[in-house]
Amino acid sequence: MKQLNSNYLFEIQTIRAIGCLLVLLVHVSATYYYMQDGYNDLTFFFNQIGRFGTPLFAVISGFLLFYQVRKKGFDFKRFLTSRTVKIGAPFVFWIFFYLLLMFIFEGKNPLNDGKKMFTVNFLLGNSYVHLYFMSIVFQFYLLFPLLQFFRSKKSWSVLLIIALGLNLYAVQFYSSPVEMDTLGYIIDQRAFLMNWIFFFVLGGFLAYNWETIHEYAKRLKLVSVVGVIMVVFFTIYEYQTKGSVSSNRPWNFLNIPIIIFAIIGLYDYVSKSKYLTKTLNLIGQLSMGIYLVHMFVIYVFVRTVPEGVWTTINFPFVFLAILLGSIAMIKLIQFLPWNHFIITVPKTRSAKTSTHKLKEKTAS
């Protein structure tokens, strides 16, 4: 098996950082919707362009797992322990955190619908608006031990086609039953894995075809630029004609691969800026933490910042303040004992360090 490009991490980290920023863009613009009693052209644009963020997160979640299997093999015990500590514990902590927040400040009792529905909504991440993605990740973890047996490029091409069919059916052709039982309720939720399975499997496909995709992405930079421009213009046309679009809509089955291909191809230009590279590496490193805490930061902003601040001209400053506030909150949490059960912050390396190690390895 060929050795993977040791610099891959920084391109993947950049995709993760951009995904994080896009998710933040969705939620900040949605907050503007409530603070301004509706969208204007600019905030609606931000909200709809941001809808690429969640599927990008899903692709990277799949990529990192399958790449690790490709590189080191699969150890079920290590996988179970790692996922429980890195994802399971933070998921449970933040569910209770947001439930308590809503109970104390909004008077919302999560048990009003009964213990059964509380349990179902708990597992689906319905405790707060953004936690559903964590539930999707966990459902994928249940499937992952089976998918890791597929380790050839051909098998991943087949899996990608199957996942596309399943995902397309779930979001385009499935209709909710008239009488909803518990299972029907789960299947009808946006947190149901089949609504997102294509993006996770795309991550596996990317992991097992990294060298080929990486090579073509570097060669076809101009095609990447044209592709992204077309995606943006078509998205504008789409939401202007159909209204608000979802993150897992069928067109994103095409949009997301184009965006990922472009980021990989254009990373060489990003890496020329030391400041931009360091910033994206930091955001990528803290992306899961930012995802978990940013809604609390937004909640605090809404309750404390004067209404006059929520003007469209202030949007960049509000966005930046919420991003920096989220990063500051993560840094504070890292001072707490057992903080790895609250926020997962993976280790990262600088591009400079990685390049130096690669040169040493080549020289030896």
Residue 180 has what pLDDT?
Answer: 83
CB 217 within 8 A of CB 80: no
Mean pLDDT of 218-223: 94
Mean pLDDT of 71-83: 91
Residue 205 predicted with pLDDT over 90: yes
Quickly state the pLDDT bin for 349 (edges 50, 70, 90).
Answer: low
User: What pTM does this model have?
Assistant: 0.91
pLDDT single digits (tens) 233-261: 999 999 999 999 999 999 999 999 999 99
Q: What percent of the chain has pLDDT over 90?
A: 87
Quickly state the pLDDT bin for 2 (edges 50, 70, 90).
Answer: very low
pLDDT single digits (tens) 250-308: 999 999 999 999 999 999 999 999 999 999 999 999 999 999 999 999 999 999 999 99
Token output for 30: 């949605």
